[in-house]
Structure 1
Amino acid sequence: MRAFRLAYDGREFYGFQRQPDVPTVEGTLLDTLEAGGIVDDGETPSGYAAAGRTDAGVSAVAQTVAFEAPDWCTPAALNGRLPGSIRAWAAADVPEEFHATHAASERCYTYHLHAPDAADEIAREAADRLSGNHDFHNLTSDESGTVRDASVRVERDGEFLVVTVSAGGFPRGFVRRLVGVLAEVAVDGQSLARVAEVLSEESLQGGRGVPRMPPEPLVLTGVTYPDVDFSIDEEAVESARGVFGQRRTSALERLRVTESVLQSIRE
């Protein structure tokens, strides 16, 4: 068994989990493994599992998949077959019983909230209140598994509030709604009492419900396996840095054009 770290630009995919008729990260990966002769048509590799299922538009730097892989299947070899939007960059040999979902002790997501005028101290206070062991039923559509021990941290980076959320696992939509609470109090000016309302036993619905923030600023940035030592594949890392470097340049060019149009309209 071998575990692989994957980075991907989620904006091109309808989420991680394989679905019929739409491109997903997992579907693309399994198609690549099929083309490489690792699996037969429509099957999954022996022992296959992934650390988690990111939503449509969500990106990752530490998604982890594991399966029975032949010796030739290194991160660099995978990158030779995968599209540029998905890059493997590290790997580790793991025991036969390893399960990429269940063996993870912690997962970490980072949300880049554009909030140049946010009240940073209020955002940090709200983050402190949201941290700890709570029933987060108002931050997810899930009906079970809503009690979680979460750590929430907020840092200022230029025009962005960088919100980092860590826990053993997350119910559906949790991080995006948690950031929604932070935006309500630190950007929209709602009282910090909103946090207590969200954490209360009362079910908030309709206009009192918590907004779910857009998925594109969200990144799966960490998955911890206490007994697994990943080895970085330097060739694969160079490939990943090259691909994402090109994407950064393209994004900066688009930003430059947008700023030029905005400035022209103002004038």
Structure 2
Amino acid sequence: MRAYRIAYDGRPYNGFQRQPDVATVEDALFDALSRLGVYERGDDPPEGYAAAGRTDAGVSAVAQTVAFDVPEWLTPAAFNSELPASVRAWASANVSERFHATHDASERTYTYHLYAPDAAEVMARAALDALRGEHDFHNLTPDETGTVRTLDGSLTRDGDFFVIELRAGGFCRQLVRRVVGLITEVARGESSFPKVERVLDADPVEGPEGVAPAPAYPLVLTDVAYPGVEFDADSDARASAREIFGALRAERQTAARVAGTLRDGLS
């Protein structure tokens, strides 16, 4: 068994998990393995396959982790030879046959880049502090079971952005984005701080009082921890991935400047 660290730009994909008739990151992985001749594409995944998590449509990752049975020659660089540029394997680790990429993860870390030039940092921090610790987050997820989680996190100001890092052993569906949505409401004065306490209460909070998920595209899965597993970075694969995502960064920074010129020209 081998585990791979996978980085991807999530914006072109309808999430990580494969779905019928739409492009997903998992489909890109399985198609690459099929073209490499190590897996016959069908309804079943590769032997022993599991992934660390199922990111939503538009969510990106640095440390998504997948594991399955593969031949020794399938290095990250070899994997990349059949992957699209938006999906890059960059590190790997040999693991035991009992390893499970979902269940053996001890902690997952997500980072959200919230554009908030006029938001109150002190209120954002207060909201995050109230949400940290063990709570029943049933009002911040569509899940009906498994909603008690222990959440940790941090918030830093970086220019016009809040960088919000959230950590937990596992996350309910949409929990990260709804936590960010609630922090945003409080920091921008759209909701008062007592709403945080109402959301954490046992009673359902629905309708206009509910919390919508923040947009998906500023969210990145930045780490998945596996005690005792050491990933070895493939220097060539990592360098290639940095070059590809660096070009993507330059493209989007240029697009932002063009949009700024359009805005300023209409003032």
TM-score range, shorter chain: over 0.9
Contact 1:130 1:152 in 2 (8 A): no
CA–CA distance in structure 1, aligned partners of residues 7 and 41 of structure 2: 25
1:88 equivalent to 2:89? Answer yes
Q: Give the corresponding residue for 2:128.
A: 127
Runs of at least 5 residues in structure 2 that lack an aligned partner in the other structure: none
Q: CA deviation at 1:69?
A: 1.1
- Give the aligned length: 266
Distance 1:23 1:236 in 2: 23
Where do 1:245-264 residues align within 5 Å?
245-264=246-265
Quote the offset at 1:71 in angstroms. Answer: 1.2
Taking structure 1 as the reference length, the TM-score comes to: 0.98
Q: Which residue of 2 aligns with 1:35?
A: 35
Structure 1 counterpart of 2:179, one-letter code: L
SS, match of residue 28 in structure 2: helix
CA–CA separation in structure 2 for the residues paired with 1:124 and 1:231: 36
Task: Give the CA deviation at 1:164.
Answer: 0.7
Whether the 8 Å CA contact 1:104–1:223 is kept in 2: the answer is yes
**Cα shift readout 1:25-60 (whole Å, capped 9, x = no counterpart):** 001100110111111121421110000000000000
Per the alignment, residue 151 of structure 1 pairs with 152
> What TM-score does the superposition give when structure 2 sets the normalisation length?
0.98
Spell out, residue by residue over 1:85-140, the C-alpha distance to the aligned partner (whole angstroms, 9 max, x if none): 00111100000110000000000111111001111011111111100000000000
Tell me which amino acid in the other structure corresponds to 1:91. S
In the other structure, the counterpart of 1:218 is 219
Deviation of 1:152 after TM superposition, in Å, equals: 2.3
User: What is the CA–CA distance in structure 2 between the aligned matches of 1:87 and 1:134, rounded to whole Å?
Assistant: 35
Instruction: Tell me how far 1:189 sits from its aligned partner.
Output: 4.4
Report if aligned partners of 2:90, 2:238 keep a CA contact under 8 Å in 1.
Answer: yes
Shift of 1:161: 0.6
Question: 1:222-241 CA distances to partner (integer Å, 9 max, x unpaired)?
Answer: 10001100001100111100
Shift of 1:217: 0.5
The alignment's C-alpha RMSD in Å is 0.8
Structural mapping, 1:1-267, within 5 Å:
1-42=1-42, 43-266=44-267
CA contact (8 A) 2:30 2:41 kept: no
SS at match of 1:121: helix
Distance between the aligned counterparts of 2:165 and 2:152, measured in 1?
8
- Residue segments in structure 1 that go unaligned for 5+ positions in a row: none
